Amino acid sequence: MTERISPRIDIAFKKIFGVEENKDLLISLINSIVSNEDQVADVTLLNPYNPKNFKSDKLSILDIKAKGTDGKRFNIEIQISDEADYDKRALYYWAKLYTEQLRVSQGYSSLSKAIGIHILNFTSIPEVKNYHNVFHVTEKDSGTAYFKDLELHTIELNKFSSNGNEELSDLVVKVKSSLDMWSAFLTRNDLLRLDNLPKELNNPTLKKAISVLEVMNFSDEERNSYEDHLKWLMIEASTVKKAEEKAEARGKAEGKAEEKMALVRNSLKAGLPLETISSITGLSVKEIEKLKSS
Protein backbone atom coordinates (compact mmCIF):
# COMPACT_ATOMS: atom_id res chain seq x y z
CA MET A 1 0.00 0.00 0.00
CA THR A 2 1.37 3.43 -0.97
CA GLU A 3 2.16 5.67 1.97
CA ARG A 4 -0.29 8.56 2.28
CA ILE A 5 1.21 11.98 1.63
CA SER A 6 1.02 14.39 4.53
CA PRO A 7 -0.55 17.80 3.79
CA ARG A 8 1.52 19.21 6.68
CA ILE A 9 4.60 19.09 4.47
CA ASP A 10 4.98 22.42 2.69
CA ILE A 11 5.35 20.97 -0.81
CA ALA A 12 2.14 18.96 -0.52
CA PHE A 13 0.36 21.87 1.15
CA LYS A 14 1.16 24.18 -1.76
CA LYS A 15 0.22 21.58 -4.37
CA ILE A 16 -3.18 21.31 -2.68
CA PHE A 17 -3.97 24.96 -1.95
CA GLY A 18 -1.64 26.90 -4.26
CA VAL A 19 -2.85 25.90 -7.73
CA GLU A 20 -5.54 27.46 -9.89
CA GLU A 21 -7.73 24.35 -10.12
CA ASN A 22 -7.94 24.14 -6.31
CA LYS A 23 -8.56 27.81 -5.69
CA ASP A 24 -11.86 26.97 -4.01
CA LEU A 25 -9.93 25.05 -1.35
CA LEU A 26 -7.73 28.07 -0.67
CA ILE A 27 -10.77 30.35 -0.43
CA SER A 28 -12.39 27.98 2.05
CA LEU A 29 -9.20 27.81 4.13
CA ILE A 30 -8.78 31.60 4.19
CA ASN A 31 -12.43 32.18 5.11
CA SER A 32 -12.17 29.67 7.95
CA ILE A 33 -9.39 31.79 9.48
CA VAL A 34 -10.16 35.48 8.87
CA SER A 35 -12.96 37.62 10.31
CA ASN A 36 -16.32 38.17 8.63
CA GLU A 37 -15.22 41.51 7.21
CA ASP A 38 -12.24 39.92 5.47
CA GLN A 39 -14.07 36.99 3.85
CA VAL A 40 -13.22 36.46 0.17
CA ALA A 41 -15.48 35.40 -2.68
CA ASP A 42 -12.58 34.94 -5.08
CA VAL A 43 -8.79 35.29 -5.06
CA THR A 44 -5.98 35.72 -7.54
CA LEU A 45 -2.94 33.54 -6.91
CA LEU A 46 0.13 35.77 -6.99
CA ASN A 47 2.70 32.94 -6.86
CA PRO A 48 0.97 29.73 -8.03
CA TYR A 49 2.80 26.45 -7.60
CA ASN A 50 4.74 25.66 -10.77
CA PRO A 51 6.64 22.35 -10.91
CA LYS A 52 8.65 23.65 -13.91
CA ASN A 53 10.39 26.13 -11.60
CA PHE A 54 11.07 23.53 -8.95
CA LYS A 55 14.50 22.47 -10.17
CA SER A 56 15.87 26.01 -10.40
CA ASP A 57 14.62 27.61 -7.19
CA LYS A 58 14.08 24.47 -5.06
CA LEU A 59 10.90 26.16 -3.80
CA SER A 60 12.74 27.15 -0.63
CA ILE A 61 9.90 29.49 0.34
CA LEU A 62 6.72 27.53 -0.15
CA ASP A 63 4.24 30.20 0.87
CA ILE A 64 1.04 31.03 -0.97
CA LYS A 65 0.33 34.64 -1.89
CA ALA A 66 -3.16 35.64 -2.96
CA LYS A 67 -5.15 38.80 -3.57
CA GLY A 68 -8.86 39.17 -2.88
CA THR A 69 -11.24 40.97 -5.20
CA ASP A 70 -11.20 43.99 -2.88
CA GLY A 71 -7.39 44.19 -3.00
CA LYS A 72 -6.60 42.57 0.36
CA ARG A 73 -3.41 40.51 0.32
CA PHE A 74 -2.95 37.13 1.97
CA ASN A 75 0.21 35.20 2.68
CA ILE A 76 -0.33 31.61 3.82
CA GLU A 77 2.58 29.47 4.94
CA ILE A 78 2.83 26.11 6.65
CA GLN A 79 6.04 25.88 8.63
CA ILE A 80 7.60 22.47 9.25
CA SER A 81 10.18 23.16 11.95
CA ASP A 82 10.65 25.69 14.74
CA GLU A 83 13.22 28.22 13.60
CA ALA A 84 14.91 30.83 15.75
CA ASP A 85 13.14 34.22 15.68
CA TYR A 86 10.15 32.87 13.78
CA ASP A 87 8.09 35.79 15.06
CA LYS A 88 10.46 38.21 13.33
CA ARG A 89 10.34 36.17 10.13
CA ALA A 90 6.53 36.23 10.15
CA LEU A 91 6.54 40.00 10.61
CA TYR A 92 9.13 40.41 7.84
CA TYR A 93 6.99 38.40 5.41
CA TRP A 94 3.98 40.52 6.33
CA ALA A 95 5.98 43.74 5.69
CA LYS A 96 7.02 42.49 2.24
CA LEU A 97 3.44 41.53 1.43
CA TYR A 98 2.26 45.01 2.38
CA THR A 99 4.99 47.05 0.67
CA GLU A 100 5.03 45.01 -2.55
CA GLN A 101 1.65 46.53 -3.42
CA LEU A 102 3.01 50.05 -3.84
CA ARG A 103 3.98 50.90 -7.39
CA VAL A 104 6.02 53.89 -8.51
CA SER A 105 3.96 57.12 -8.40
CA GLN A 106 1.20 55.51 -6.34
CA GLY A 107 0.11 57.04 -3.06
CA TYR A 108 -0.15 55.26 0.28
CA SER A 109 -3.93 55.28 -0.04
CA SER A 110 -3.60 52.51 -2.63
CA LEU A 111 -2.29 50.10 0.02
CA SER A 112 -4.76 47.40 1.06
CA LYS A 113 -4.85 45.35 4.22
CA ALA A 114 -2.28 42.53 4.37
CA ILE A 115 -3.00 39.37 6.36
CA GLY A 116 -0.30 36.87 7.26
CA ILE A 117 -1.43 33.32 8.06
CA HIS A 118 1.16 31.03 9.62
CA ILE A 119 0.21 27.39 10.08
CA LEU A 120 2.80 25.85 12.40
CA ASN A 121 3.79 22.26 13.06
CA PHE A 122 5.14 23.27 16.47
CA THR A 123 4.19 25.27 19.54
CA SER A 124 5.29 28.86 19.15
CA ILE A 125 3.21 30.48 21.90
CA PRO A 126 3.30 28.04 24.87
CA GLU A 127 1.71 30.51 27.28
CA VAL A 128 -1.53 30.56 25.24
CA LYS A 129 -3.91 27.58 25.14
CA ASN A 130 -5.79 28.46 21.93
CA TYR A 131 -4.39 26.91 18.76
CA HIS A 132 -5.56 29.87 16.64
CA ASN A 133 -4.40 33.34 17.65
CA VAL A 134 -4.89 36.70 15.90
CA PHE A 135 -2.52 39.64 16.32
CA HIS A 136 -3.08 43.35 15.63
CA VAL A 137 -1.32 46.57 16.54
CA THR A 138 -3.44 48.24 19.21
CA GLU A 139 -3.05 51.19 21.59
CA LYS A 140 -1.64 49.97 24.90
CA ASP A 141 -4.29 51.36 27.26
CA SER A 142 -7.48 51.71 25.21
CA GLY A 143 -6.97 48.78 22.84
CA THR A 144 -7.82 51.01 19.86
CA ALA A 145 -6.81 49.37 16.56
CA TYR A 146 -5.53 52.43 14.70
CA PHE A 147 -3.18 50.58 12.30
CA LYS A 148 -5.87 48.34 10.86
CA ASP A 149 -3.90 47.04 7.88
CA LEU A 150 -1.70 44.76 10.02
CA GLU A 151 -3.04 41.32 10.90
CA LEU A 152 -1.17 38.11 11.66
CA HIS A 153 -2.64 34.69 12.42
CA THR A 154 -0.86 31.75 14.00
CA ILE A 155 -2.35 28.26 13.88
CA GLU A 156 -0.41 25.77 16.01
CA LEU A 157 -1.53 22.39 14.74
CA ASN A 158 -0.12 20.33 17.60
CA LYS A 159 -2.39 22.23 20.00
CA PHE A 160 -5.33 20.95 17.97
CA SER A 161 -4.11 17.36 17.70
CA SER A 162 -0.86 15.93 19.05
CA ASN A 163 -2.00 12.41 19.93
CA GLY A 164 -1.07 10.01 17.16
CA ASN A 165 -3.18 7.30 18.78
CA GLU A 166 -6.49 9.18 18.78
CA GLU A 167 -9.37 7.68 16.81
CA LEU A 168 -11.76 9.34 14.39
CA SER A 169 -14.40 9.73 17.11
CA ASP A 170 -11.87 11.65 19.26
CA LEU A 171 -11.09 13.93 16.34
CA VAL A 172 -14.72 14.61 15.48
CA VAL A 173 -15.47 15.85 19.02
CA LYS A 174 -13.06 18.75 18.39
CA VAL A 175 -14.65 19.87 15.12
CA LYS A 176 -16.82 22.90 15.91
CA SER A 177 -15.86 25.24 13.07
CA SER A 178 -14.53 25.33 9.51
CA LEU A 179 -11.01 25.93 10.82
CA ASP A 180 -11.34 22.87 13.05
CA MET A 181 -12.32 20.92 9.92
CA TRP A 182 -9.22 22.05 8.04
CA SER A 183 -7.04 21.45 11.10
CA ALA A 184 -8.41 17.90 11.28
CA PHE A 185 -7.46 17.42 7.63
CA LEU A 186 -3.95 18.79 8.12
CA THR A 187 -3.20 16.84 11.29
CA ARG A 188 -5.03 13.52 10.89
CA ASN A 189 -5.86 13.07 7.23
CA ASP A 190 -4.87 9.41 7.74
CA LEU A 191 -8.17 8.92 9.59
CA LEU A 192 -10.31 10.47 6.86
CA ARG A 193 -11.90 8.26 4.22
CA LEU A 194 -14.26 9.56 1.54
CA ASP A 195 -16.63 6.65 2.05
CA ASN A 196 -16.71 6.99 5.84
CA LEU A 197 -16.83 10.66 6.79
CA PRO A 198 -18.92 11.59 9.85
CA LYS A 199 -21.48 14.36 9.36
CA GLU A 200 -19.20 16.90 11.09
CA LEU A 201 -16.66 16.38 8.30
CA ASN A 202 -19.02 15.60 5.43
CA ASN A 203 -18.15 18.75 3.52
CA PRO A 204 -17.78 19.00 -0.30
CA THR A 205 -14.65 21.14 -0.09
CA LEU A 206 -12.99 18.80 2.38
CA LYS A 207 -13.92 15.83 0.20
CA LYS A 208 -12.19 17.49 -2.74
CA ALA A 209 -9.06 18.11 -0.64
CA ILE A 210 -8.97 14.44 0.39
CA SER A 211 -9.39 13.40 -3.25
CA VAL A 212 -6.60 15.74 -4.38
CA LEU A 213 -4.29 14.30 -1.73
CA GLU A 214 -5.10 10.71 -2.67
CA VAL A 215 -4.16 11.18 -6.35
CA MET A 216 -1.20 13.52 -5.79
CA ASN A 217 1.98 12.59 -7.66
CA PHE A 218 5.48 13.99 -7.28
CA SER A 219 8.34 14.34 -9.72
CA ASP A 220 11.68 12.89 -8.59
CA GLU A 221 12.86 16.32 -7.41
CA GLU A 222 9.62 16.96 -5.57
CA ARG A 223 9.69 13.50 -3.97
CA ASN A 224 13.25 14.00 -2.70
CA SER A 225 12.38 17.37 -1.22
CA TYR A 226 9.16 16.02 0.29
CA GLU A 227 11.01 13.17 1.99
CA ASP A 228 13.68 15.54 3.32
CA HIS A 229 11.01 17.81 4.78
CA LEU A 230 9.12 14.82 6.15
CA LYS A 231 12.26 13.79 8.03
CA TRP A 232 12.34 17.22 9.67
CA LEU A 233 8.75 16.79 10.79
CA MET A 234 9.39 13.29 12.14
CA ILE A 235 12.55 14.37 13.95
CA GLU A 236 10.70 17.25 15.55
CA ALA A 237 7.80 15.01 16.61
CA SER A 238 10.28 12.52 18.08
CA THR A 239 12.12 15.29 19.92
CA VAL A 240 8.90 16.61 21.44
CA LYS A 241 7.84 13.10 22.48
CA LYS A 242 11.21 12.41 24.13
CA ALA A 243 11.09 15.73 25.97
CA GLU A 244 7.60 14.92 27.24
CA GLU A 245 8.70 11.43 28.33
CA LYS A 246 11.74 12.86 30.14
CA ALA A 247 9.58 15.45 31.87
CA GLU A 248 7.12 12.73 32.90
CA ALA A 249 9.93 10.48 34.17
CA ARG A 250 11.50 13.40 36.02
CA GLY A 251 8.15 14.23 37.59
CA LYS A 252 7.69 10.63 38.71
CA ALA A 253 11.23 10.51 40.14
CA GLU A 254 10.68 13.78 41.99
CA GLY A 255 7.39 12.44 43.32
CA LYS A 256 9.04 9.28 44.59
CA ALA A 257 11.82 11.31 46.20
CA GLU A 258 9.26 13.49 47.98
CA GLU A 259 7.42 10.40 49.19
CA LYS A 260 10.67 8.98 50.52
CA MET A 261 11.53 12.22 52.32
CA ALA A 262 8.06 12.28 53.89
CA LEU A 263 8.54 8.69 55.05
CA VAL A 264 11.90 9.58 56.63
CA ARG A 265 10.46 12.62 58.42
CA ASN A 266 7.48 10.65 59.74
CA SER A 267 9.74 7.80 60.86
CA LEU A 268 12.01 10.24 62.70
CA LYS A 269 9.02 11.82 64.39
CA ALA A 270 7.88 8.35 65.47
CA GLY A 271 11.28 7.79 67.07
CA LEU A 272 12.33 4.83 64.92
CA PRO A 273 16.06 3.95 65.04
CA LEU A 274 18.14 5.30 62.17
CA GLU A 275 19.14 1.77 61.13
CA THR A 276 15.47 0.78 60.84
CA ILE A 277 14.67 3.87 58.75
CA SER A 278 17.68 3.07 56.55
CA SER A 279 16.43 -0.46 55.88
CA ILE A 280 12.93 0.82 55.06
CA THR A 281 13.95 3.67 52.74
CA GLY A 282 17.23 2.46 51.28
CA LEU A 283 18.98 5.66 52.40
CA SER A 284 22.23 5.46 54.34
CA VAL A 285 22.36 6.41 58.01
CA LYS A 286 24.53 9.42 57.07
CA GLU A 287 21.89 10.63 54.58
CA ILE A 288 19.17 10.27 57.18
CA GLU A 289 21.28 12.13 59.80
CA LYS A 290 21.77 14.93 57.27
CA LEU A 291 18.01 15.14 56.70
CA LYS A 292 17.44 15.08 60.44
CA SER A 293 19.72 18.05 61.02
CA SER A 294 18.43 20.07 58.05
pLDDT class of 255 with cuts at 50, 70, 90? low
* 274: Cα separation from own chain's centroid: 54
pLDDT surpassing 70 at residue 26 = yes
Residues with Cβ within 8 Å of 112's Cβ and at least 6 positions away in sequence, in order, are: 70, 71, 72, 73, 101, 149
For 128-173, the pLDDT digits (tens) are 999 999 999 999 999 999 999 999 999 999 999 987 788 999 999 9
**Domain boundaries defined on the chain:** 10-217
CA 119 to CA 68: how far, in whole Å?
20
For 69-94, the pLDDT digits (tens) are 999 999 999 987 777 788 898 999 99
Contact between residue 172 and residue 144 where contact means Cβ atoms under 8 Å apart = no
What's the pLDDT score for residue 236?
57
Contact between residue 30 and residue 43 where contact means Cβ atoms under 8 Å apart = yes
Beta sheet of 114-120, edge-to-edge order = 43-45, 64-68, 73-79, 114-120, 147-156, 132-137
pLDDT class of 58 with cuts at 50, 70, 90? very low
Ranking 20-24, 38-42, 241-245 by mean pLDDT, the lowest is 241-245
What's the pLDDT score for residue 293?
74
